[in-house]
Each structure stands twice: as C-alpha cells, then as structure tokens.
Structure 1
Amino acid sequence: MIQKSHTLFSVRRLLIAGVSCFSLLFLSHSVSAAEGRESPVDLQADKLIHDDGGQIVTASGDVVLIQDGKTVKADEIVYNLMQDTVVATGHVEFTDVNGDKHYADRAEFNNALKDGFVEGLKTFLVDGSRFKASNGRHVGGNSTIMKDAFYTPCESCKDNPDEAPLWQIRASEVEHDKENKVIRYRNARFEVKGVPIAYLPYFAHPDGSVKRKSGFLTPSAGFKSDLGAFVQSSYYWNIAPNKDLTTGLMVMTDAAPMAMAQWRQRWAKASLIVDGSVTYSKRTERDSGQNVERDREFRGNLSVDGVWDINDKWRSGLKIDVASDDQYLRQYDFDSDDVLENELYVERFSGRNYAVGRLLAFQDLRIEENKEDQPHVLPEIQASFLGEPGQVPIIGGRWSVDASLLGLLRDNGEQDMNRVHTALGWKRRFVSDYGFVSVLDANAQGTLYYVNDRTGSAGNSLIDGNSRESRAFGYINSFTSYPIAKEFETSQMVIEPMVSLTFAPNINIDDDIPNEDSQDVQIDTLNVFEADRFPGVDRVEDQSHITYGLRTGLYGNGGSYGEVFLGRSYRFQEDDNPFTRGSGLDDRDSDVVGQISGSYQRDYTLDYRFQLDNKSLHSQRHEVDASASIGDLTLSSRYLYAKGLGGTDINETREQIRNSASYYINDKWRIFGSARHDLGDNPGLRKADFGIDYIGQCISLSMIGQRTLTDDSSGDSGTEVMFRIGLKNLGEFETSGVQIGGGEE
C-alpha cells in the first residue's frame, strides 16, 4: 500500500536527486545542493509508482524533471531509497541553464550521489563544441573520469555527420579533477581528419573554472640566421591570487641560452610588473662607418612597470626600461623602440587642476655613431590650474595658471640646466548677434634659468661657462571666425573665414638661454593659428603677427564629407626672426599650410596635408593618407615628403611611401601585403611583407613573410617567415619566426 506522506517525500527526493545527479556528472561548476537547498521542481511522467516495501520510486514514460533552469529527460528514472541509488535509462538527456546538452544511454548514481556511472555519453555545448565518451564515472563527488573520449569544437558535416571532424583530441582516459580544477589526458592523440599527427602519453591543463594555473606554457620553436635553430619553453607559477612568476629558457644552436623571467603582483591599490632577460652572445656594432662584430658578452634587458593609486587624487608610478646595448631588443624581437624612457612620477588630480612631478632618464638605441648626450630630467614639476568660466570679475572669462620646474643633468661635463617658469592666462569666448565667434586671450609669463657648462653658438661670450638668465614675456591674442552654413536637401555646406591677431613685444633673441625643448618647430594646420608656435618654453614667438585662413566643407547627412583648409601668417616686423630654416616661419610671410580631407560612405577616405613655400609655392612638406574599400578589396597608401628642418638632426630631405592591400577571397580566406620604399637620396625597398589568413569555424591559420632591409647593426635586418595556428578553445600556437639571410642590399 502506498502511503501518501511517504510518496510525496520520496517523489520530492527523486526529483531533486534526478537533477542533481546529472549536474554532478556533466558540469564541474553546477553541483546542485540537494541536501541544503530544495528548489521547486516540476515533474512530468506518464506513470509514477512507489513500492513501499522495497522503498523504490519509479517514474516512467517521457519523464521530464525541471529545477533551477536545468532539465532532465529519460524514458525511466528509478530511485532506490534503501540502496541510495538513482538509475536513469533510455534516451537520457540533461540540458543546463546555459543551453549545453548532455546525452547518455544509461546513468547510475549512489553514495549520496557522490559516485556515478554513465554509458554512451555525448555532450553538445552552446559554442558548437562537442565531446563523446564510451562511459564515464563520477568518483567521490569531485572527480569525473571518462574512457575512450574525444573532444572537438568543429561542427559536423551536414551532408555526412559521421565524417571525422577537421581536428579532434582523442584520449584513452580523461579525468576532470574538480578539487584541483584541472583536466588530465592519458594516451592523447591530436587528429586531423581522423589521422593522428601528434601523440602525448600524458598532459594536463586547467579547466574552464580557473583563469590561472601553475604549469608549462606552450613552447615555441624556429630559426634565425644569427641565432640558429631555437626552442623556447616557459613555466608559469601561480604563487597566489595576486601574484605570479613566469620563467623561461630559449636554447639556440648558434648562441648561448637566454633566460627570461616576469614577476607580476597586485595589491589593493597598486600593481607591479618586473620583466627581464639575460644571455651571453655576440653582436654587430657600427664603428667608423663599418659594421664590426663584437666578442661574446653578457647582454640583457630589464623592464619595470609599477602604479600606486594613493587615493582618489594622488597617484604614483615607476617605469624602467634598460638594455645592455643598441641591438639587443631588436635582435631578440623584444621591442623596436629607438629610445628607452625611465620614469619615476607622482601626480595629483583635482577637478580642473593637475600637477605632476617626475624624474626621467633616457637610453638612446639609435645606431648613429655620434649620438647626442641625452639629458637626465632631475626633476620636472608641472602644475596647471584652471578657473571656472565667468569667474574673473568685471571682464568675465576664465583664468589659468601654469607653473613648472625643470632640471636637466648631462654626463661627461656637458650642458646642465635648471629652469623655473610661471605663466598667467585669461581667456573669454564671445558670440555676436551677427554670428561672429571670437576668442580673446592674454598671457604673461616669466622664466628663470641657471646654466652650467653652457655651450652656445660662435660669437657668444659665454660659449663655455655658467650663467643666470631671466626672461619676461606676454601677448594678447584675438581669434575671430564667421561660419556661414547653407542647408541642402541631403547635405550642409559650411564656409568659415578666420583671422587672428597677436600683439607681442619685440625682445632680443638671447643665445645665453639654451634651447632644450623648442628645437623641433614646424608650421602646420594644427598650430598655424596659435599665438606662440614654439612647442616648448625655451623659445617664444615675439613681435606681433596676423594669421588668416579659410575652412570650407560639404557634409552629407549620411556621414560623407569633404573639407578644405588653407592658412598662413604674416609678421609685422622683418628682422630678428626666432624661427629656424625649414620651419615655414623663418620669413616675414609664412609658408602656406593646408589640408584636404574627405570620406565617401566610409569606403573611400583621403587626408592630404601640405606646406608650400611662401614665394614659389614649391613643396616643403606633403603627407597623404588614402584608403579605398572596393567590395572585398581594401587598398591604402601613405606618402611623406619633407625637407630638412634646421635646428634638429633632420638635415636631409625625406621621402617615402608605404602601400598596402588586402583581399578577401571568400568568407574564410584573405591575402594581404604591404611595402615601404625610401624615395630619398638612397632610394630602395626598406620593408615588405606578404601574408595569407584562413579563418574557419574551429581553426585559423596565418602565414606572414617579412623582409627588412636595414643595416645589420640595427639588429632587425633579414627575412622572417612566421606561422600561426589558432585552435578554437585551445588558444594559438605559433612560431616565433624563421629568419633567413640578412645584411644590406
């Protein structure tokens, strides 16, 4: 006789047990707490029988259990209360809340659902991945072992579902250790189209529930002409949730091994990354115009990056980048920077106000023989304060205060400098009833210098020595524009003439004041309307001048546009010009600068910037960026022509062009390439690359060939071929490069 109270109690245990058992086996992360939490359960079954004597509850006939968004289906589920076993048979199906589906022919659980066995397991994940096993065991509540299993993220062929997938991993045994969050494979084979191409007796990797796990990382291998064949292997040590260490070793046939290490650590408000490498190898150095091969020596690099968020207003940081020599970073493909910067800083943010103090040191990695001595910045302190709009009494507008302290120290007894600078500013914007837009601003500044070991131009009384200098300067600048707009049916046209007038005193150019931060000055569309076109503090643009220009454009409602800008300036006095040759500002009339830019339906773009001589209108500088997308074909080009710039180390005319193209053959295949040519005094190809990509449903392939034609002493000359293979859900495997040949051409 079936007792009602026992029946309801047993059925509820059956429902919870049914859902829990499949959660335990199929999903490492969704263990249902049947013992501690009894969520509502929906049951559908054609028949429900309770054997009171044998304490057996049987649900049969299209059994469906639903709990917490998880669903279990089976032809029959039998729960033996006395033996504590649950058996599901016939078309067993479990659907997780995320849509993953698991199928089995038969499933059995016991020992309070801690142990279980499943026959004919098949799993289909929502991302398209699937795995299959002849049987699986759930042991101790935290370990799942599958026999004769395979895994693949590749979709099955629609015409032939039984055909072997593009790639899969087979193993005689797969163990999922939930306690240690790791998956172990024994006798694993990597197969392509059913053909084994790699075998590992054992390997393991973290499961999807953890992002970090100690172990060996994917190795890489390749060949380079100056290093020979090499193999690189790394070990990752997950020390704690907030810190880890990665160590590596690269073994080469033509060079000594190289050791690498990276330490990472985070605190509540700070982080630190320390990265470095060391080896014992030879290198090529430029000496008296010739490349000279140096003997083997210890070489390496060190990189440190740290940030400390002290509070919501203060932040401090540290950045260190040093290398043993000019070629090391490029030779081993660490970096291609020409100058390494080392910095220690502290900064403060407060509304519109900002302050920063820093110490800076530089390492020049350029291969020139006669390098300028890079100064150490000890220290640089900057502060900027900006008032609220309309805060200035009577005249309105907003005020600003900028102050800075700079100390430059050079080795070998060369020029050192200390500078204190303060600038007071005021600015106000006006819009008249007639549509004129005007901005009026004024600036007053003072600068103090103390210079040691001064080096100046010929004829200077203080070519070598110490000096104290001071300078006071100010200007008033007025900028006015009159934008005129005309609406059309599908576009808008704007014509905006503009003019600015700057009043500044005529001060003598004092060579006793060193020029450290204002050497590289050149007129362009961005600074032509500035009151002072010098980028730094050490030089100021004295004397009054007027600047005028025109901006016009046609702007379509769909996003297409075309725009033209022209501008130039005129100095009221001809003598005592502070600008150097090539700047475009060294004459009374400046060079003409302009920009032509446009975009059509975002498929065709053009950005052309130019500088024309003020008298002959001959080219002084051209920069062109253009691109076009025509169906599956994309083309782009970048062209530069620039004459030498006085006051800098750029004395020769530069001219180069870079063209690139890519073409999608179909939705999976793409080819691409680019080439950069030097068109100057020493013309020729400088760099070229060509590649092909394949992006499939479960695999991506890429091959890139690159040829760099530079001096051997740069460390990056040669031909390199790189391969990359991306396997869905397993990451990318790639060669670090195959480098063939080298030298100048």
Structure 2
Amino acid sequence: MMHKLPPRRLLAIAAALALIGGQADASSGQSTPATSPGQADQACPLGSFHCAPRPYNYAMCRPNALLDFYDPSLGKDVSLRETSLTKVDAQHVDSSNQSVYHLSGDVKLQRADQQLQADSVDYNNVSTDYDARGNVRYQEAGQLLASSHMRGNTDASRGIADDVRYQMLDARGNGVAKQGHMLDAQHSRYVMATYSTCDVGHHLWEFRAKSITINKETGVGVARDATMRLGNVPFLYLPYFSFPTDDRRKSGFLYPTIGNTSRSGFEVSAPYYLNLAPNYDATLDPRIYSDRGAMLAGEFRYLVPGSNGQINVEYVPNDHGENDGLADIKGDSRYLVNLSDRTQLWKGWQFVGSYNHASDSSYLYDYGDALSHAAIYTLASNAAVMGGGKWWHASFGGTIYQNVNPFVTDRVLPYDQLPYATFGMNVPLSRWLEFGMDTSAVAFRKTGFVEGEREDLYPYLAADFGTSAWFVRPKVAYRYTAYQLDSGYDKYGYGGLLGSGGVSPFTQQSPSRALPIVSVDSGLVFDRNASLFGNSYTQTLEPRIYYLYVPYRNQNNLPVFDTSLMSFDYWQLFSPNQFSGADRQMDANNVTAALTTRLLDDSGAERLSASIGQIRYLSPQRVLGTDWVRSAYVAQLDVQLSDRWRLASSYQWSPNTRLTDMAAVELQRRLGTDGVFNFSYRYRRGLLEQYSASAVYPLSERWRLVGSWTYSVKDRETVEALAGVEYDSCCVSLRLVDRNYVNQAYYGFGPAPTGGNINQRDNAIMFEVVFKGLGSSGGQIDPLLRRDILGYQ
C-alpha cells in the first residue's frame, strides 16, 4: 500500500543514515573524484611541451562493482529534497498509536534522490527515536550504505548502526565497519572499520583500523591500531595516526620516498607536514643516504598580507661519503639554502627576491643530479624592486652567482650585476605609430676580470601599416652604449688577466658606442582554396622582405660583460642583432627575402607550414668578421595533417662553405589513446650530432612501457638511456624507472676528473606506488618522464 507522510519526520531517519554513511569515507584521508571514461581518453595534443597530468582512471574497475541494492533509476538532484513528499511502501503499517509508526514487510521510503529500505521500521514522531531492522539499505546521490540494524534519535543526531557496508558514488571509496556510532551531528566513531578505493569485494589494498573517530567540526579523523594491507598481507602498522576528512590541511606524515643513485646510494625519505597556521606551514623531511649519512631537509611557506614566499633548507651534519678528489668533504657538514619572496610595496611596485646557496661546489653533483633533476651549473641570487604601468616598466636590483660545477673554477661564472636598473616604455602616438625605449644601467663585478659600469639607451619610433593582405612596418632606432671601467682596466684582456707579453684591448676608461638602427619589414598574404588527400584547405602564400641598416662601429675596446653570439635560426633573418647582449651590436646593410606557405583547415587550424629564407649582405659583416655576400639558406617545415602524427624540421645550408650548418627533424606518432612515439635528429656543424627516441608503449589496458634513448655520434656513446614499466589497475598504479646517463653537464668542462668515486656514467632508479584516492610514495618519476618523453601523460 502507498501512503504520503509529512516530508520532514520520516526522512529524518534517512538523513541520520546519510550522516553515518557520509563519514564512513573518512578513513580515506582525502578522496579523489572518479574519472569518467571520456576523461581518461583525453590525449595531449601532439607537439605540446607540457601535457596535463592523466586523471586517475577508474575505467578498469568492474562496471557492476556496486552494492547489490543500487537503483540506477533513482534521481540525482539533491535540491529537491526539501520540496518533495515522502513516498512510503510497506506491506503493513500500524499507526494506532498516533505518535509511533510501525512499518514492516519490504519497507521502502523514497524522497527525491533518497531511498531507505528495511524489513521493518519503527519511528516515534514525538521523540524522533527510530529503529530500522533487518537488511537496512540506504541510497542517495552520493553514496550507498547497508546495515543490519540502525537505531537512534534524529533530533539529537545520535545513532548506532551494526554491520555497516558503505560505498561512495561521487568519489571512489568503500568499506565496512563492525559498528558505527553517531555521537552527535559533528562527531562519529567506527569500530573495526576498513576503507579502500578498489572494487567492492576485490580489495587489492585497504586500511583496517580498530577504531576511527571523526570530528566534522575540525575536519580531523583519528585512527587507532591501524594497518594497511596489500591483499590480506599487512605491510604498514600505525598504532595512531590522524588524517584530514575534508579539504582543510592537517599535520601528519606524508608518503615516503625510496630510491637509489650512484652518487649517494640508497635513499629513504619520510616527510612530516606541519599545519602551523592558515597562512603558513612547514614540512620536515628527514632522509637517510646509505653512502653519505643522514640529512634533514625542510620547507617553510608563508602568505601574509601583501607578501608570500618559501624557504627550503637541506642540511647534512656529517657526510661520510668517499673523498672523490673534487673536494675534501668527508666528515664535513654540508647544506643547501633556497629562499624566495614576493612582497607588494605600493600600487604598481613589488619586491622580488631569491637567495640560493650551497655549502660547496660539489653539493648538487652529489645530492641534486639524481633521477629527475637536471644538472645546474650555477646558483643565482637576486633582489629587485619592480614596477610598471600601462605603458612602462622599471626595475632596480642586483644579481650574484655561485659556481656549483666541481670540475671548473669560478672563471666560468657570469658577471655579478651589483646593482642594475632597467626602464622600458611603449607609448602609442596614433593608431599606426608608437614610441618606445629600452634602457639599462648595470655595474658588472667579477674577480680577475675587467670590471665597470655600462649604460645602454635604445629609443625607437615604429609604425605599422597594412591590412590582412599586406603590411609595411618601418622602424627607426638609436642605440647609445657607454662604459666607465674601474681603475686597472688596462691590465685585463677579454678573458681576464693578461698573460706575459699580452696587450690589453682596453685603451679608454670611458669608451662608448653610438649608432642608428633602421629597418623596414614588409610582406604580402595571398590565399586560395586547395584540396589534399580528399580534404579541403585554405592555402596561403606569404612573401616577405626585410631590410636592415646598421653602420659599422669598431667595438674592440669595449668589454664583453654579458654578451654572446646567438645560434642562427629562421627568426634571426629578421633580427636587428645576432648578439644577445648590449656589448656588441652587429653592423648591417642587409636584405632578407623569405617565403612562407600554410595549409589551414576549415576550423582555421594550421596543418602545414613551410618557410625558406636568406639574407643578402650588401656590405661585409665587419663586427661578425665575415665578407660573405649571402647567409645560409634557412628552411622550416611543420606538418600535422591528422591528430595521429606530426613532423617538424629545420635545415640550414651555407652556399659559402657548401656545407650543412644545422639540421633537425622531429617526428611524433600517437599510439592508441595513451601512447606516443618520438624520434628526433639534431645536427649543428662542429658542435653536436645526436639521435633521440622515446616512447610510451601500451602493452594492454593495464601495462605500459616507457623509455628514451639519446646517442651522440660525435662522442660515439649513449648520452642517456631510460627504461621503465607502468602498471595501472582499478585502485593501484605502479611505476619502476631506471635511468643511466653521462653527466655531460659536468664532465664537458675542463680536464677529466680523477678519484675513486667518479664515473662519467651515473645511474638512478626509483619505484613509485600510487594508491588511488590516497596519494603516492613519491613524485620524482613524473617530472622526469615529462622532460624526456614529449607528449607523456
């Protein structure tokens, strides 16, 4: 029989059960939302350097892995609860006592997304006591809960449930509890409780705790006498631990890291997170290195009104590693400090600073260049005040450097800039005309080298005429660079102190250089309809002419503080200077001719782009030291006619030497939905020739192989080789990666190192396990694979 009752009272039973069920997932710490099948199949676009992390994929979970009373036809809109009537279905209803309802025989109470089923239900409409007995089942939009017996009081938010089974629907998570106690609306306690994100009845892993208490007010749960199990085998015992039950932060241990490197041996890390205040926190990370001893690392983050920053410290009180001939560090204390801060000073102005310092030049070589850390040559520290407005920007500060390459001296360091100041502006004068300026003033300091101050002024006037079919962009600039060298300037050469019998090129203490820079950039854009492989495209043809004039100035008496010659590429065809800094300005009387064609699909996406260009020198390049009539031919080709593969290439051939100056080819192929293959070849005459290949190869839905390989033709050896395997299941992911590499960033300098613990080949291995919905044992593998495998997710 069907009855309609007031919506508030009887569904209070369901509300009480929801509170118990809603807390049952607390043993998970923090749950992870389930991933839809379509979300797991989203692939990173080909050619992307940064791919979004793959979301947890629960597609391999059993499609019917729900508690058996799940009703898919039940509504999902929780907002309808307050306005919906309660429908009651039962074989027998006794309401002879007008304050007590006795329901029995396949009792079903339904309102909106809520449904309660039981063999019998007694409810006191006055005291709000309730008693549901026999095969109690509750379902709502976010969860399922089953119990053999449930009783309590809805007004007092008290209740006891026996033999609880629960399952979360919005987030993966399920488990059982011998008994659940709702002490009040904010506090719950569970006896003999479990939690896992695996399929119901098929737990590869789970937590088991003798008791779990939940405080919703503070967002903290406490488990006592708990074990974590793989299958039925316990592998981690915690007599007491606390965890967050919502998004609020909570102090506690993070997951450990286990690995091995050839420089420091086996590593075990057990970080502990400290939630000190809402606006600052810290992490203590004690580590043990089998070959070097104990380390204490720490991180402190702060966020105060107008300021935020971070401090990282690593400290080794007694390094017992072998003396490798680089530095006598055995028995010494060693450390690394990294500090960064950003503070708002006033409107439009802020302070930005960083301090990075290591105890010795070998520190990062021993501790930093492991599995996923690229070698670092120098540590830079900087402090600056920066500001800007609608049409201007400015900065004032200083930068210093520390050498952290143990195989070279401090001669390789860049100049310290103490201090520096910059100012730039870009003011539109009309719709087609603008005035701009780039200026800098720097004091350069470096022991054993010529020192001094440099000012560089670069005002310009630029115009932009054109439509979508053509453009003409003339630009007139004036560059003035002046120096004030310190005393003793005549005792130095470009490379530092003069050798015996050397002659200094610095003949003036205050040299300067002034010259105009004139350029005109122009081009046309033609387009037509085209067809290729049965697809329609829009093809463009874009001729471009660029003229550049810069008069010659003798710059031999100017020091070289921060300037170097840049690698020649396609964009250098249209650049006013091939030097990266202000100490050198090339002369030019050049005309660049270039041609580009593109294929655009119906959506406007570029499917093919091909360009070729060359500079015609109307006068010799005296600063660059060449008298060639023309530059190398520079060509580029990018093709992606489908979402499955992409080809990118560039090529430079010099008609002057009749040799190839540079060549590069990159091929990327999609393998299924989550696999990728990359191949590249890079050549630069006299510098390098390398082949590289990398892949993510899916063997099955659960297994993937990952690997990368780089081979140097010049050195006739493998520069780096990486191999690994990934396993993914419904609730567990595993990764094992081994990396063997030449520490070329260090060994490429100076004489070959000597010593018992030095090898040009280093090795690192790391294992990572991810219990979906809980976290992982480390995060070092993912950055490495992202760096070495283009398109890795």
Q: TM-score, normalised by structure 2?
A: 0.79
Instruction: Return 5+ residue gaps in structure 1 as ranges.
Output: 1-7, 31-37, 157-161, 645-652, 738-745
Residue 708 of structure 1 deviates from its aligned partner by: 1.8
What SS does structure 2 have at the residue aligned with 1:14? coil
Cα distance per residue 1:363-398 (max 9 Å; x no partner):
23234434324321122222221122626xxxx521
Is the alpha carbon distance of 1:100 and 1:75 closer, same or farther for their aligned partners in structure 2, counting shifts above 3 Å? Answer: same
Which residue in 1 is equivalent to 2:56? none
Instruction: Return 5+ residue gaps in structure 2 as ranges.
Output: 26-80, 748-752, 782-793
Residue 93 of structure 1 deviates from its aligned partner by: 3.3
Is the alpha carbon distance of 1:539 and 1:230 closer, same or farther for their aligned partners in structure 2, counting shifts above 3 Å? Answer: closer
What SS does structure 1 have at the residue aligned with 2:576? coil
Contact 1:29 1:209 in 2 (8 A): no
Residue 488 of structure 1 deviates from its aligned partner by: 1.9
Q: Are 2:704 and 1:670 equivalent residues in the alignment?
A: yes
Which residue in 2 is equivalent to 1:742? none
Q: Quick check: which has more Rg, 1 or 2?
A: 1
Residue 234 of structure 1 deviates from its aligned partner by: 2.3
Contact 1:699 1:726 in 2 (8 A): yes
Which residue in 2 is equivalent to 1:182? 220
Q: 1:120 aligns with which of 135, 138, 163?
A: 163
Is the alpha carbon distance of 1:630 and 1:117 closer, same or farther for their aligned partners in structure 2, counting shifts above 3 Å? Answer: closer
Is the alpha carbon distance of 1:621 and 1:377 closer, same or farther for their aligned partners in structure 2, counting shifts above 3 Å? Answer: same
Give the letter aligned to residue 723 of structure 2: F
Separation of aligned partners in 1, 2:654 and 2:597: 22
Q: 1:656 aligns with which of 690, 712, 715?
A: 690
Residue 229 of structure 1 deviates from its aligned partner by: 4.2
Alignment of structure 1 residues 581-660 onto 2, 5 Å: 587-631=628-672, 634-643=676-685, 653-660=687-694
Residue 332 of structure 1 deviates from its aligned partner by: 2.1
Separation of aligned partners in 2, 1:306 and 1:657: 41
Which stretch of structure 1 is more off in the superposition, 43-52 or 456-465?
A: 456-465
Which residue in 1 is equivalent to 2:9? 14
Separation of aligned partners in 2, 1:350 and 1:284: 55
Alignment of structure 1 residues 231-270 onto 2, 5 Å: 231-270=268-307
Is the alpha carbon distance of 1:224 and 1:608 closer, same or farther for their aligned partners in structure 2, counting shifts above 3 Å? Answer: closer
Separation of aligned partners in 2, 1:246 and 1:635: 38
Contact 2:402 2:413 in 1 (8 A): no
Count of aligned residue pairs for this structure pair: 689
RMSD: 3.3
Residue 49 of structure 1 deviates from its aligned partner by: 5.1
Contact 1:330 1:715 in 2 (8 A): no
Residue 132 of structure 1 deviates from its aligned partner by: 1.5
Is the alpha carbon distance of 1:718 and 1:523 closer, same or farther for their aligned partners in structure 2, counting shifts above 3 Å? Answer: closer
Contact 1:122 1:130 in 2 (8 A): yes
Is the alpha carbon distance of 1:204 and 1:151 closer, same or farther for their aligned partners in structure 2, counting shifts above 3 Å? Answer: same
Residue 447 of structure 1 deviates from its aligned partner by: 2.0
Separation of aligned partners in 1, 2:671 and 2:168: 38
Separation of aligned partners in 2, 1:11 and 1:557: 59
Separation of aligned partners in 2, 1:637 and 1:58: 74
Residue 167 of structure 1 deviates from its aligned partner by: 2.3
Residue 84 of structure 1 deviates from its aligned partner by: 5.5
Residue 190 of structure 1 deviates from its aligned partner by: 3.1
Give the letter aligned to residue 663 of structure 2: H
Q: 1:314 aligns with which of 349, 355, 361?
A: 349
Q: 2:379 aligns with which of 318, 334, 340?
A: 340
Is the alpha carbon distance of 1:223 and 1:477 closer, same or farther for their aligned partners in structure 2, counting shifts above 3 Å? Answer: closer
Give the letter aligned to residue 173 of structure 1: S
Which residue in 2 is equivalent to 1:33? none
Contact 1:43 1:63 in 2 (8 A): no
What SS does structure 2 have at the residue aligned with 1:528? helix
Which residue in 2 is equivalent to 1:79? 123
Cα distance per residue 1:457-516 (max 9 Å; x no partner):
699975468711222211221122222222124122222222222233333x12221122
Is the alpha carbon distance of 1:503 and 1:706 closer, same or farther for their aligned partners in structure 2, counting shifts above 3 Å? Answer: closer
Separation of aligned partners in 1, 2:436 and 2:521: 18
Which residue in 1 is equivalent to 2:335? 300
Is the alpha carbon distance of 1:311 and 1:121 closer, same or farther for their aligned partners in structure 2, counting shifts above 3 Å? Answer: farther
Give the letter aligned to residue 684 of structure 1: E
Contact 1:18 1:65 in 2 (8 A): no
Which stretch of structure 1 is more off in the superposition, 703-712 or 400-409?
A: 703-712
Give the letter aligned to residue 527 of structure 1: Q
Contact 1:456 1:512 in 2 (8 A): no
Contact 2:681 2:691 in 1 (8 A): yes
Contact 1:592 1:612 in 2 (8 A): yes
Q: 1:427 aligns with which of 441, 450, 462?
A: 462
Which stretch of structure 1 is more off in the superposition, 80-89 or 245-254?
A: 80-89
Which residue in 2 is equivalent to 1:730? 774
What SS does structure 1 have at the residue aligned with 2:591? strand
What SS does structure 2 have at the residue aligned with 1:531? coil
Which stretch of structure 1 is more off in the superposition, 633-642 or 685-694?
A: 633-642
Separation of aligned partners in 2, 1:735 and 1:541: 47
Alignment of structure 1 residues 547-566 onto 2, 5 Å: 547-557=592-602, 559=605, 561-566=607-612
Residue 238 of structure 1 deviates from its aligned partner by: 0.9
What SS does structure 1 have at the residue aligned with 2:353? strand
Is the alpha carbon distance of 1:208 and 1:293 closer, same or farther for their aligned partners in structure 2, counting shifts above 3 Å? Answer: same
Separation of aligned partners in 2, 1:119 and 1:410: 76
Contact 1:560 1:601 in 2 (8 A): no
What SS does structure 2 have at the residue aligned with 1:526? helix
What SS does structure 1 have at the residue aligned with 2:658? coil
The alignment-based identity, stated in percent, is: 18
What SS does structure 1 have at the residue aligned with 2:17? helix
Q: Are 2:412 and 1:377 equivalent residues in the alignment?
A: no
Separation of aligned partners in 2, 1:460 and 1:436: 55
Separation of aligned partners in 1, 2:685 and 2:771: 49
What SS does structure 2 have at the residue aligned with 1:600? coil
Which stretch of structure 1 is more off in the superposition, 306-315 or 112-121?
A: 306-315
Separation of aligned partners in 2, 1:200 and 1:601: 52
Which residue in 1 is equivalent to 2:613? 567
Alignment of structure 1 residues 20-35 onto 2, 5 Å: 20-28=15-23
Separation of aligned partners in 1, 2:23 and 2:247: 11
Cα distance per residue 1:569-615 (max 9 Å; x no partner):
233223x61116xxxx6634222222122223032222222222232
Give the letter aligned to residue 669 of structure 1: W
Separation of aligned partners in 1, 2:429 and 2:117: 69
Cα distance per residue 1:314-336 (max 9 Å; x no partner):
23211122112233224224743
What SS does structure 1 have at the residue aligned with 2:558? coil
Separation of aligned partners in 2, 1:12 and 1:292: 79
Which residue in 2 is equivalent to 1:197? 234
What SS does structure 1 have at the residue aligned with 2:623? coil
Which residue in 1 is equivalent to 2:544? 498
Contact 1:11 1:57 in 2 (8 A): no
Residue 636 of structure 1 deviates from its aligned partner by: 1.1
Is the alpha carbon distance of 1:506 and 1:285 closer, same or farther for their aligned partners in structure 2, counting shifts above 3 Å? Answer: farther
Residue 13 of structure 1 deviates from its aligned partner by: 6.3
Give the letter aligned to residue 729 of structure 1: G
